């Protein structure tokens, strides 16, 4: 009776701690969101692809624009196009990603039509962040079998540099991480249990949801299923193998029915598909790419100390060999964390091969695995070494995780990547010239959105292609102006064209590079 009351009391404490953590996590995420002052090009595309049916920013060459209205039209939902999911499907069929994430963005923007805001992307990310916190706690508890250690693990996995950067990065990576955590929890819970209808329904929903959010979900699922399937084969559970295979076959068929364009997008019919299959055929720079991804994980999760962690693990293994306990440890080893780590590592190895860029967003969905495995490994090794004292163990692990988190922030100069606070310097420079008009010599319409936060600060701005520049300058007889030139164009040629047609201007002073454009002040 006393043990039951003690367990009930412990459960209340854990629930209270988890609730407080989630509340504080939300507050911190909102704080980071408030600090976000600019957007990545892909973040502009998030809203453009979800809401715009014009195929891009509707620029009219030679037309004078003011403020943010041009880009608000691109980013927001028109009153007449609210809840137009057919438009979302069409946009994504022409793009390289599946539609579920864009459906969520379009739905939120449809409620607030004719408006654009960063919060329309941050709020769904915070929602999935909270779901990830809860499911990570359950997953950690399934592996670690201890409430407080599971709480510490979920806390560390949810608040590291990589995880928080993704909360304020307005793309689908927080959402796909949720589905990856869910499918990992299902596989972990049923690893040593007979499978029931709940398992297969859960697998179906996760497979469809994850695949329709990002195709890289399939990479992780593939490796996870291989490990899980091999275990079923070894156990000769033929009925479960058939049910397992049939579940994912039905899930795959459902995805094709929902979004037929996925076949073309995955198998060389899109830019990303062609890039992926082309990358598989060569190993050029592959070693370099692997190192780059290792550096991302080492910096954003381990705080730059992963080499010391590996060294410490090797020392433990040698100690186990010396004490003749290595076989004992291997025999009693829990295969669930090994399964997750194997799937996570193989995912990173393949992504390094096929991903178009080496960036943190692609490893975000599996970043938590390394935290969970690291905590499990310490706990398991201390058990083999007969080190007792749950409180001291939990405290020691918490201190190590806090050290890694602080070290990670120090390496990142105490700044989060996707709040773009560094862009404030550019904004301040533009403020000094806000009385000037802008001529923007552009190449790709949608990429001019990367400069929208600067352009709206200026008196007015006009867009032109190089071939129409001379005619425009003939009409624009200005004493001073700001000149934006797409990075692909010859700066000197553009500037000389303007100086030849406008005798009031004496020269150009380079101010800064702004994403895809170089900016000059001409007087």
287 with 378, same domain? yes
The tokens describing 62, both together, are 């030679």
CA distances from 165 to 326, 359, 417 (A): 39, 12, 6
Q: What is the pLDDT of residue 479?
A: 82
261 with 354, same domain? yes
Is pLDDT at 10 greater than 60 in this prediction?
no
302 with 377, same domain? yes
Question: Is 65 within the bounds of a domain?
Answer: no
213 with 176, same domain? yes
Q: How does residue 303 score in pLDDT terms, banded at 50, 70 and 90?
A: very high
Question: Is 209 within the bounds of a domain?
Answer: yes
Angle at the Cα of 300 (from 294 to 304), degrees rounded to 5?
70
432 with 308, same domain? no
Pairwise pLDDT comparison (457 vs 390), residue with the higher score: 457
460 with 400, same domain? no
Domain that holds residue 16: 2-33+122-419
389 with 484, same domain? no
Mean pLDDT, rounded, for 60-89? 93
Domain boundary among 419, 434, 454: 419
Alpha-carbon gap, residue 167 to 418, rounded angstroms: 9
Q: How does residue 467 score in pLDDT terms, banded at 50, 70 and 90?
A: very high
Question: Is 217 within the bounds of a domain?
Answer: yes
**Number of domains comprising the chain:** 2
SS3 416: coil
Quote the mean pLDDT of the chain.
91
For 97-131, letters b (16+ CB in 10 Å) and e give: bbbbbbbbbbbbbbeeeeebebbbbbebbbebbbb
Q: What is the pLDDT of residue 281?
A: 63
Alpha-carbon gap, residue 385 to 305, rounded angstroms: 23
Is pLDDT at 283 greater than 80 in this prediction?
no
Q: What is the pLDDT of residue 3?
A: 43
Which residues are CB-neighbours of 375 under 8 A, at least 6 positions away? 140, 144, 149, 152, 153, 156, 397, 401
Instruction: State pLDDT tens for residues 140-162.
Output: 999 999 999 999 999 999 999 99
Is pLDDT at 176 greater than 90 in this prediction?
yes
Q: How does residue 1 score in pLDDT terms, banded at 50, 70 and 90?
A: very low
Domain boundary among 365, 392, 419: 419
Question: Is 435 within the bounds of a domain?
Answer: yes
Q: What is the CATH number of the domain that holds 509?
A: 3.40.190
Domain boundary among 390, 419, 448: 419
Q: How does residue 333 score in pLDDT terms, banded at 50, 70 and 90?
A: confident
Alpha-carbon gap, residue 428 to 79, rounded angstroms: 35
Strands of 381-507, DSSP E? 437-441, 460-464, 481-486
DSSP class per residue in 330-382: HHH--HHHHHHHHHHHHHHHHHHHH-SS--GGGTHHHHHHHHHHHHHHHHHHH
Alpha-carbon gap, residue 83 to 378, rounded angstroms: 50
């Amino acid at each position: 009776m006393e043990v039951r009351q003690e367990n009930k009391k412990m459960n209340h404490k854990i629930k209270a701690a988890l609730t407080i953590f989630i509340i504080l996590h939300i507050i911190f995420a909102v704080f980071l969101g408030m600090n976000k002052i600019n957007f990545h090009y892909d973040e502009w595309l998030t809203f453009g692809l979800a809401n715009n049916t014009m195929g891009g920013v509707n620029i009219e060459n030679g037309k004078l624009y003011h403020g943010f209205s041009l880009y608000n039209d691109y980013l927001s939902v028109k009153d007449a196009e609210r809840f137009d999911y057919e438009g979302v499907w069409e946009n994504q069929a022409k793009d390289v990603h599946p539609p579920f994430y864009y459906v969520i963005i379009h739905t939120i923007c449809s409620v607030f039509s004719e408006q654009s805001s960063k919060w329309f992307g941050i709020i769904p990310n915070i929602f999935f962040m909270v779901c990830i916190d809860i499911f990570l706690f359950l997953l950690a508890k399934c592996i670690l079998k201890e409430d407080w250690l599971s709480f510490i693990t979920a806390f560390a996995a949810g608040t590291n540099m990589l995880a928080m950067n993704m909360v304020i990065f307005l793309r689908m990576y927080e959402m796909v991480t949720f589905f990856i955590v869910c499918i990992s929890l299902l596989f972990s819970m049923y690893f040593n249990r007979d499978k029931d209808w709940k398992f297969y329904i859960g697998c179906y929903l996760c497979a469809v949801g994850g695949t329709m959010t990002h195709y890289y979900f399939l990479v992780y699922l593939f490796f996870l299923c291989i490990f899980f399937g091999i275990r079923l084969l070894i156990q000769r559970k033929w009925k479960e193998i058939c049910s397992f295979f049939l579940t994912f076959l039905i899930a795959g068929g459902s995805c094709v029915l929902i979004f037929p364009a996925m076949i073309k997008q995955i198998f060389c019919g899109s830019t990303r598909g062609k890039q992926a299959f082309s990358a598989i055929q060569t190993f050029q720079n592959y070693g370099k790419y692997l190192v780059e991804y290792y550096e991302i994980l080492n910096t954003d999760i381990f705080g730059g100390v992963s080499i010391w962690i590996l060294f410490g693990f090797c020392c433990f293994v040698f100690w186990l060999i010396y004490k003749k306990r290595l076989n004992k440890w291997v025999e009693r080893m829990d295969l669930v964390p090994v399964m997750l780590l194997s799937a996570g590592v193989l995912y990173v190895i393949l992504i390094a091969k096929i991903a178009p860029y080496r960036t943190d967003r692609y490893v975000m969905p599996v970043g938590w695995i390394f935290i969970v495995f690291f905590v499990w490994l310490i706990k398991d090794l201390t058990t083999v070494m007969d080190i007792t004292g749950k409180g001291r163990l939990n405290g020691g692990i918490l201190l190590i995780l806090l050290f890694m988190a602080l070290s990670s922030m120090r390496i990142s100069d105490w700044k989060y990547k996707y709040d773009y606070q560094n862009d404030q310097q550019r904004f301040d420079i533009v403020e000094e010239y806000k009385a000037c008009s802008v001529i923007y010599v552009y190449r790709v319409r949608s990429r001019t959105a990367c400069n929208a936060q600067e352009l709206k600060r200026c008196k007015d701005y006009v867009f032109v292609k190089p071939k129409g520049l001379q005619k425009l300058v003939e009409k624009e007889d200005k004493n001073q102006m700001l000149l934006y030139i797409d990075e692909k164009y010859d700066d000197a040629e553009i500037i000389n064209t303007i100086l030849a047609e406008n005798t009031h201007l004496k020269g150009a002073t380079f101010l800064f590079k702004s994403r895809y454009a170089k900016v000059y002040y001409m007087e």
